[in-house]
Amino acid sequence: EVQLVESGGGLVQAGGSLRLSCAASGFTFDDHAIGWFRQAPGKEREGVSCIDIDNRNYTYTDSIKGRFTISRDNAKNTVFLQMNNLKPEDTAVYSCARKQRWCALRVIDFSDWGQGTQVTVSS
C-alpha cells in the first residue's frame, strides 16, 4: 500500500522555523519526485516546492523563495521541508504527494496525497 505521512507541523510565532517531514512507503521512493503543497482555509491548494530523482528542486511559490528548502534522504524514504522566517500567510495544511521521476507544474499530476500537517504562524 502506497503511503505518504506528513509530520512536523505546529504553532509557531512569526519569524520562527519548522521542519516538515514526508515519510514514504509502499513504492520505489528513489524513482519518484515528491512535491510539497499547501492549502489555506478558503483557498485552493497550491504548490510549494518539489524535488526530483536527481535532487533538483523547484519552487512553485515566489513568496517562499529564500525561506523554504526542500531535501530528500533516499535511505530513509523521506523528504523534508525546512521552513525558516515563517510568516502568518504561510498558515495552511501542508501535504506531500508523489509523481514518477520528474516534478511537474500541475497539482493534478501528483498522486497519493498524505493526510497533511497543520502549520499555524501567529503574528
pLDDT, one tens digit per residue, over 46-84 is: 999 999 999 999 999 999 999 999 999 999 999 999 999
In this predicted structure, the answer to whether residue 123 has a pLDDT above a threshold of 90 is yes
Adjacent-strand bridge partners of 113: none
Question: 77-105 as b/e, with b when 16 or more CB fall inside 10 Å?
Answer: bbbbbebeebeeebbbbbbbbbbeeebbe
Sign of CA dihedral 104, 106, 107, 111: negative
pLDDT tens, residue by residue, 27-46: 999 999 999 999 999 999 99
Q: What is the model's pLDDT at position 105?
A: 85
Average confidence (pLDDT) over 102-115: 92
The Cα–Cα gap between 36 and 6 comes to: 10
